[in-house]
Amino acid sequence: MFHNLHTHNFTNNPNTFEVVNRYPYEEINVPYFSTGIHPWHIDEEKVGEHLAIIEQRLQLPNCLALGECGLDKRIETPLTIQAEVFEKQLAMAKQYQKPVILHLVAAFQELVEIKDRLQPGVPMIIHGFSKNAQVAKQLLDNGFYLSFGKYLLRNPELSAVLAMVPEDRFFLETDTIEEGIEEVYAKAALARNMNIAALQDTISTNFKTVFKNG
């Protein structure tokens, strides 16, 4: 069984366990999903409405995580507004004890500050990790999990970063890429010098630990 931490494209493949991203304004038409307000899609007039939908969905057994949500310094929405929306979502993740799938761009220090202040007490996964070993170590040291996908396939240097991540602290994903999760697993298996079956076991264990599922 392949496990896909984060995808926007449900494949309905019987050999793949997928956590499909569903924004508050999207219908739930998949077996397992995550839901949250992405910083790119903050609509200030609708934040209250969207948060109410998210809170309802977090109580569903097939809602495995809050997200994707987070912080992005490279967009026009002010970081103060992003942080306010993010903190409200983290409070719900804490209340309903759901892991958090994070979109994080150039806001590492802010993320750590918010986490330390709010103490959500749930697993938090940086999806689409693309940075160097130093950043990876800082995030791991602060208790975050890392998920690899698009950039693992696009950037040869990322294989060495994945190779140094402890086996109980990483996931694999497709997000919006056209390649399938099998291709991501093949690349990750090469990076970590292990066979696909062993990698599947590792990630399956990580899913059970973080999502109490899979």
The annotated binding site is made up of: 68, 103, 127, 175
Residue ranges for the known binding site for a divalent metal cation are 68, 103, 127, 175
Q: How far is CA 42 from the centre of its chain?
A: 18
Q: In the 3-class helix/strand/coil scheme, how is the chain assigned residue by residue?
A: CEEEEEECCCCCCCCEEEEEECCCCCCCCCCCEEECCCHHHCCCCCHHHHHHHHHHHHCCCCEEEEEEEEEECCCCCCHHHHHHHHHHHHHHHHHHCCCEEEEEECCHHHHHHHHHHHCCCCCEEECCCCCCHHHHHHHHHCCCEEEECHHHHHCCCHHHHHHHCCCCCEEECCECCCCCHHHHHHHHHHHHCCCHHHHHHHHHHHHHHHHCCC
